[in-house]
Amino acid sequence: MPVYNAPIQDISFLLNDVLKLQQQNIPGYDALEPELLQAILEEGGKLASEVLAPLNASGDREGCHLENGVVRTPKGFKDAFDKVKEGGWTGLDCNPEFGGQGLPYIVATAIAEIFASANMAFGMYPGLTHGAYSAIHTHGSAEQKATYLPQLVSCKWTGTMNLTEPHCGTDLGLMRSKAEPNQDGSYAITGQKIFISAGDHDLAENIIHLVLAKIPGGPAGVKGISLFIVPKFLVQKEGALGPRNKVSVGKIEEKMGIHANATCVMNFDGATGFLLGQAHKGMRAMFTMMNEARLGVGVQGYAQAEVAYQNALAYAKDRLQGRAATGPENPDDAADPLIVHPDIRRNLMQQKSFVEGARAFAYWGAMLIDQGNLAGDEPAHGLVSLLTPVIKGFLTDRGFEFCVQAQQIFGGHGYIEEWGMSQFARDARIAMIYEGANGVQALDLVGRKLGQDGGKHALAFFELIKTFCAESASESPEFKADFIEPLKTASKQLQEAALYFMQNGLKSPNTALAGSYDFMHLFGHVCLGYVWARMAQQAFRNSAQGTGDAAFNETKIKTGLYYMQRELPATALHLARIKSGADPVMALTADQF
Amino acid sequence: MPVYNAPIQDISFLLNDVLKLQQQNIPGYDALEPELLQAILEEGGKLASEVLAPLNASGDREGCHLENGVVRTPKGFKDAFDKVKEGGWTGLDCNPEFGGQGLPYIVATAIAEIFASANMAFGMYPGLTHGAYSAIHTHGSAEQKATYLPQLVSCKWTGTMNLTEPHCGTDLGLMRSKAEPNQDGSYAITGQKIFISAGDHDLAENIIHLVLAKIPGGPAGVKGISLFIVPKFLVQKEGALGPRNKVSVGKIEEKMGIHANATCVMNFDGATGFLLGQAHKGMRAMFTMMNEARLGVGVQGYAQAEVAYQNALAYAKDRLQGRAATGPENPDDAADPLIVHPDIRRNLMQQKSFVEGARAFAYWGAMLIDQGNLAGDEPAHGLVSLLTPVIKGFLTDRGFEFCVQAQQIFGGHGYIEEWGMSQFARDARIAMIYEGANGVQALDLVGRKLGQDGGKHALAFFELIKTFCAESASESPEFKADFIEPLKTASKQLQEAALYFMQNGLKSPNTALAGSYDFMHLFGHVCLGYVWARMAQQAFRNSAQGTGDAAFNETKIKTGLYYMQRELPATALHLARIKSGADPVMALTADQF
């Protein structure tokens, strides 16, 4: 049975030593003393290891079941959900006015990672509820806030997001669900939505569906989409639950993974809905949540790789098979542990250097979100808006890939469900798809974000890297040679790719689009190169000053070195692909395929 | 529901135009007239599409069940197996003396691909039986051959391969199963074997288990392993089935995929076994089958990618979502088909250029096997022995990767089992593991094959590429620039990597081992570059001479061009990783992880 232990030392190193939360000029960050963070992480880690992780495999096996129109979650989920609620974990970064803890988003991100590693399907229940909270918090009327937010913060009620329809996913302009005005100011929502995660379950008293639909007579396409609050049970004046709304589960999808979270077909048959925000501005309301939601999915990606890595590492240390090429290392037994073999090391180092880099990248993104939201820092907001598709696309693609690599260390046992490695890969797979499939992330990055506001966020990113490299002039020659030089090379390649798009994009819009996926990965590598340089810089400084855990510092530097020497050079390949242009990609007509 | 159509035009192009079977000086190849091949492929394709493919998804859902000690295969499998037997498909390349068709291995390989694409779990039943046939055909006594081969050729009986034990997979020297001599010359086999594919089922009257075990008193480690024939039902003098042998199914494993083929724990409790070949030479007997078996697994890898590609392509042409960046291409509808989008094209072209290259590589390998076996061509035998780990490792890694990419084209629907794309990925995943996990293939390549016989097979490979490039001097400048030049570059990089291993391997054996996985992929890319150049050369010639299907030739060239421009440049990355040496890989102690 797989195990999970929250990587608290690594998280603390990032928050305290690298990102130096307490020194940031962001409201609320000054209160984030190392002791407080440690206590939160330890408590969250304990809950994850002792309550959530033990339900991960059983939840996968049992799955969710539709009984008489109601979804039953796997055994133990209700108790676990109650424990999470009781501990106040559901409202960490929510507004205290509505019962939240008022902590910054970065703290909630660290906890979300820990919960996702322990049990991804479970973590989606509070995760989606947080999305509904954010939408209503940002766009709701005072009355809507008062009615829904306290219940969503406490997860007494949970939330869902209803976008996709059978014939339209990415292209929401094709949407058919309609919202017809009722006399009382509410709307009658009719239509079918699919892929609704946590669309129904038995963990909460009520479910607040946020539903995109079109008000008849509105503009065509995405400009005519509005967002509605559609509760499973209508809420009465005093907050008591009223009658069942006309929304029902059509079926539960059989899917590759996240079995413990029901993916529902939802039927709205004249269900009562309440307009959230302005009519026809539903897409805008959705998009305000996107940065957070997509960052959250990126976190899921590497969180699965983290837990898969932990188990692969344990297996590699435990399983005796073959001998080291340099002579027996475990002479008293008939064989050495797998970890002596260089190709097993290669595999583990790839996983480790990815996961730690990914975590740093995601937390940096979370800090930028706080900077934007809490400190009103517009450049930070712009930067994280640029980085969001990279965090989502790169971290979920690689996260899945490394779950598969971790599974490989187990040999045949990795293919057997009993060992749990298959589940990590199957669960991680969805993160590449939902909240915008990764091809759409690449399109968003190259087609929108790169040139947004005259390209100033991209320029700010390059400036940031340049400044960081310039400021490292006084660092050790070793650090500069091993970390700064490769980062400079990679960053230049990213700039070259962006320039290539600019120079060729006007002639042929397909040039940038044909290179978009490679650009997303190229960008991801540069970001991981950057955060690895920052982590290594701090580890070198700690070593020089004799602060921190010496073994930890050394491991950090060597792991970073692996990334710089073996992973970062992928940037050249992505650049070469990009610069081959659209011709090889678009050479065939559709019929010639 | 997924569909499958055998890619007969592509297969015929390879066999007739590129590999030119009829012109090879290999016994039996002269009879392979295009019309005969066409007839075989069409019949096999029909069976695959109409009988095997329709059972793929249902077999996955239903799986195998252990009932009263006997494994029940999914509904329809028995009927389908009977049809395959009746058509004579199980003995295509078997010896006519025992009822086989006596066709070359390359023909059986093409049919194995087609069956694997249609239903991988099904194809394993005859596939494993063929392995048992080969072992007995090569190492059995006249009596053993007479007793078992006709039944295995017809698949009236099927075969299995019993190597792995709970504590040993790759490292068979740790094996504990023992074979104690009985008075009558047979052996009493005792032990537990795991991961036994098709270990039991209801498709055949008898199951012939080939079992590795140690005869007490023999040499330690792998040198003391012998191979035994252990029938499920003992066979009596006249071939009639006798009593049940003491071999039983302990359990069926729950696994990620290939659910329609039971992966069994097999318990041997003093089961009667018959020595196959010489005592203590069991590993040698196993290894004689390895080239074929591993090539067969490589075929499974790209065969899954082929069927996944076919379905992704159909979906990309059918699903309307968004508009082309260059203006609507389907103005009468509300949206354009997915295939207009450059990133969807990028994804499809990656799949297509891989699958067609992989097929060419595998068939070339199969031809080399025929050259070795039928024409007694030692250099061909040596070359395919070098290429086998590349075929197995590279084609299954990439095959799985492209199943995942094909799944991605479906967006959320790709994650839903109903669409079948998840199954292709889940089934393909095992091919990276069984018949030697891919890390073991890389070890075999770098640790054994590269330097085998003084490195002469590797030298022969490089010479082959060099000669091919030199002989293309008279070809069109376009072909030389687009295909020969990139191939030369990639091949030089492979040579550079091999040289690096030679120069550093003595100082540190870990240098080569730390780069082994990248070397396997680098080698795979060079091989695909080579076969793409050969295919493009033929397509250019056909075009110039006005022979063949003009659209097919054009598509072939453009698809090859995609490979050369966008995929082959990966060689530089692999070389860079290799030349970073063992230091970044081995920097941490086991405790520091």
Beta bridge partners of B160: B209
Q: What is the pLDDT of residue A559?
A: 98
**Cβ within 8 Å, pair B412-A169:** yes
Residue A322: list chain B partners with CB under 8 A: 170-171
Q: What is the pLDDT of residue B418?
A: 96
**Cβ within 8 Å, pair A255-B341:** no
**Cβ within 8 Å, pair B585-A517:** no
Whether A525 contacts chain B with CB within 8 A: no
Q: What is the mean pLDDT of residues A57-73?
A: 97
For an interface test with B, the pick among A193, A197, A326, A345 (most B C-beta atoms closer than 10 Å) comes out as A345
Beta bridge partners of A275: A228
Burial (0-12, 13-18, 19+ Cβ within 10 Å), B49: middle
Task: Mention every residue, 6+ apart, whose C-beta is less than 8 A from residue A582.
Answer: A508, A510, A511, A513, A514, A515, B342
E strands along B431-587, which residues? Answer: none
Minimal Cβ distance to B415: which of A313, A430, A577: A430
d(CA B463, CA B485): 16
Minimal Cβ distance to A582: which of B253, B317, B342: B342
For an interface test with A, the pick among B340, B438, B483, B585 (most A C-beta atoms closer than 10 Å) comes out as B585
Length of chain A counted residue by residue: 593
Task: Mention every residue, 6+ apart, whose C-beta is less than 8 A from residue B410.
Answer: B312, B315, B419, B421
Superfamily of domain A8-142: Acyl-CoA dehydrogenase/oxidase, N-terminal domain (1.10.540.10)
Residue B414: list chain A partners with CB under 8 A: 433
d(CA A434, CA A432): 6
The structural domains of chain B, with segments of one domain joined by +, span: 8-142, 159-279, 452-587
Residue A503, Cβ neighbours under 10 Å: how many? 10
A372/chain B closest Cα distance in angstroms: 31
Q: What is the mean pLDDT of residues A204-212?
A: 97
**Cβ within 8 Å, pair A558-B585:** no
Q: What is the mean pLDDT of residues B243-267?
A: 98
In sequence order, which ranges of A377-508 are alpha helices (DSSP H)? Answer: 378-409, 421-431, 438-443, 452-471, 477-479, 485-505
For an interface test with A, the pick among B9, B176, B256 (most A C-beta atoms closer than 10 Å) comes out as B256
Please identify which residue in the block is written with the tokens 């939201």: A373
Q: What is the pLDDT of residue A307?
A: 98
3-state secondary structure A8-26: HHHHHHHHHHHCCHHHCCC
Closest CA to A72 of A331, A264, A316: A264
Residue-wise pLDDT for B38-86, tens only, equals 999 999 999 999 999 999 999 999 999 999 999 999 999 999 999 999 9
Q: What is the pLDDT of residue A170?
A: 86
User: Residue A386 pLDDT more than 80?
Assistant: yes
User: Residue B290 pLDDT more than 80?
Assistant: no
Residue-wise pLDDT for A509-524, tens only, equals 899 999 999 999 999 9
Instruction: Give the right CATH number for A159-279 from 3.40.50.300, 2.30.30.90, 2.130.10.10, 2.40.110.20.
Output: 2.40.110.20
Closest CA to B445 of B390, B498, B396, B505: B390
d(CA B433, CA A411): 6
**What angle is formed at CA A578 by the lines to CA A575 and CA A580, rounded to 5 degrees?**
110
Q: What is the pLDDT of residue B505?
A: 82
Give the containing element (helix H, strand E) for B271. Answer: strand B263-276
Q: What is the pLDDT of residue B577?
A: 98
Q: What is the pLDDT of residue A284?
A: 85
Residue A93, Cβ neighbours under 10 Å: how many? 26
d(CA B344, CA A516): 11
Mean pLDDT, chain B, whole residue set: 96
pLDDT band at residue A450, thresholds of 50, 70 and 90? very high
d(CA A242, CA A232): 10
Q: What is the mean pLDDT of residues A449-465?
A: 96
Whether B406 contacts chain A with CB within 8 A: no
Evaluate if pTM is beyond 0.80: yes
Minimal Cβ distance to B255: which of A173, A415, A588: A415
User: Residue A542 pLDDT more than 90?
Assistant: yes
Q: What is the mean pLDDT of residues A517-544?
A: 98
d(CA A452, CA B284): 64
Residue type, A466: K
pLDDT band at residue B237, thresholds of 50, 70 and 90? confident
**Cβ within 8 Å, pair A576-B569:** yes
Minimal Cβ distance to A342: which of B325, B513, B562: B513
End-to-end CA distance of chain A: 45
Topology alike, domains B8-142 and B159-279:
no
Whether B516 contacts chain A with CB within 8 A: yes
Minimal Cβ distance to B256: which of A422, A433, A447: A422
User: Residue B369 pLDDT more than 80?
Assistant: yes
Residue-wise pLDDT for A152-193, tens only, equals 999 999 999 999 999 988 889 999 999 999 999 999 999 999
**Cβ within 8 Å, pair A554-B322:** no
- Which residue is closest to A319 within chain B, CA to CA? B167
- Which residue is closest to B442 within chain A, CA to CA? A343
Closest CA to B411 of B499, B357, B356, B338: B338
d(CA A65, CA A67): 6
- Percent pLDDT > 90 in chain B is 95
**Cβ within 8 Å, pair B585-A400:** no
Whether A451 contacts chain B with CB within 8 A: no
Q: What is the pLDDT of residue B169?
A: 86
User: Residue A290 pLDDT more than 80?
Assistant: no
Residue-wise pLDDT for A230-268, tens only, equals 999 999 988 899 999 999 999 999 999 999 999 999 999
- Percent pLDDT > 70 in chain A is 100
Residue A551: list chain B partners with CB under 8 A: 592
**What angle is formed at CA B105 by the lines to CA B276 and CA B92, rounded to 5 degrees?**
85
Give the containing element (helix H, strand E) for A275. Answer: strand A263-276
Residue-wise pLDDT for B202-211, tens only, equals 999 999 999 9
Q: What is the pLDDT of residue A214?
A: 97
User: Residue A291 pLDDT more than 80?
Assistant: no
More confident residue, A557 or A239: A557
Angle of helix A452-471 versus helix A516-545 axis, rounded to 10: 30
C-alpha to C-alpha distances, B508 to A326, B156, B337, B481, nearest whole angstrom:
8, 52, 55, 39
Q: What is the pLDDT of residue A506?
A: 76
Tell me which of A435, A463, A478, A485 is the catalytic residue: A435
A216-220, A313-317, A448-452, A507-511: the lowest-pLDDT one = A507-511
Q: What is the pLDDT of residue A311?
A: 98
For chain A, the C-alpha Rg in angstroms (whole number) is: 24
User: Residue B317 pLDDT more than 90?
Assistant: yes
pLDDT band at residue B457, thresholds of 50, 70 and 90? very high
- Which residue is closest to B443 within chain A, CA to CA? A343
Whether A415 contacts chain B with CB within 8 A: yes
Whether B197 contacts chain A with CB within 8 A: no
Half-sphere exposure for A296 (CA within 13 Å, toward CB): 24
- Count of helix runs (H) and strand runs (E) in chain B: 20, 11
Sign of CA dihedral A230, A234, A235, A236: positive
With contact defined as beta carbons under 8 Å apart, do B245 and B230 qualify?
yes
Whether A321 contacts chain B with CB within 8 A: yes
Q: What is the mean pLDDT of residues B566-573?
A: 98
B493/chain A closest Cα distance in angstroms: 14
Q: What are phi and psi of A574, to 5 degrees?
A: -60, -40
Q: What is the pLDDT of residue B291?
A: 73
Q: What is the mean pLDDT of residues B221-237?
A: 95
Q: What is the mean pLDDT of residues B300-305?
A: 98
**Residue-wise DSSP of A451-464:** THHHHHHHHHHHHH
Sign of CA dihedral B569, B406, B426, B386: negative
Q: What is the pLDDT of residue B507?
A: 82
Q: What is the pLDDT of residue B302?
A: 98
Q: What is the pLDDT of residue B311?
A: 98
DSSP 3-state assignment of B317? helix
User: Residue B288 pLDDT more than 80?
Assistant: no
Query: Does B378 participate in catalysis according to the annotation?
Result: no
Mean pLDDT, chain A, whole residue set: 96
Q: What is the pLDDT of residue A313?
A: 98
B305/chain A closest Cα distance in angstroms: 15
Q: What are phi and psi of B320, to 5 degrees?
A: -95, 125
**Cβ within 8 Å, pair A509-B321:** no
* A-B contacts at Cβ under 8 angstroms: 263
What the block records as the tokens of A158 is 């949970």
Q: Between β-strands B263-276 and B187-197, what pairing exists: parallel, antiparallel or unpaired? A: antiparallel
Residue A587: list chain B partners with CB under 8 A: 558, 561-562
Residue-wise pLDDT for A305-337, tens only, equals 999 999 999 999 999 999 999 999 999 999 999
Whether A176 contacts chain B with CB within 8 A: no
End-to-end CA distance of chain B: 45
Minimal Cβ distance to A343: which of B429, B434, B439: B439
Q: What is the pLDDT of residue B354?
A: 98
Q: What is the pLDDT of residue B506?
A: 76
**Cβ within 8 Å, pair B408-A346:** no
A332/chain B closest Cα distance in angstroms: 14
Closest CA to B196 of B268, B145, B138, B137: B268
User: Residue B392 pLDDT more than 80?
Assistant: yes
A408/chain B closest Cα distance in angstroms: 7
Q: What is the pLDDT of residue B40?
A: 98
Q: What is the mean pLDDT of residues B280-304?
A: 89
Whether B584 contacts chain A with CB within 8 A: yes
Whether B412 contacts chain A with CB within 8 A: yes
Residue-wise pLDDT for A474-485, tens only, equals 999 999 999 999
**Cβ within 8 Å, pair A320-B174:** yes
Residue B504: list chain A partners with CB under 8 A: none
Whether A342 contacts chain B with CB within 8 A: yes
**Cβ within 8 Å, pair B255-A559:** no
Q: What is the mean pLDDT of residues B549-563?
A: 97
Tell me which of B435, B478, B496, B554 is the catalytic residue: B435
What the block records as the tokens of B238 is 């006249």
A426/chain B closest Cα distance in angstroms: 9
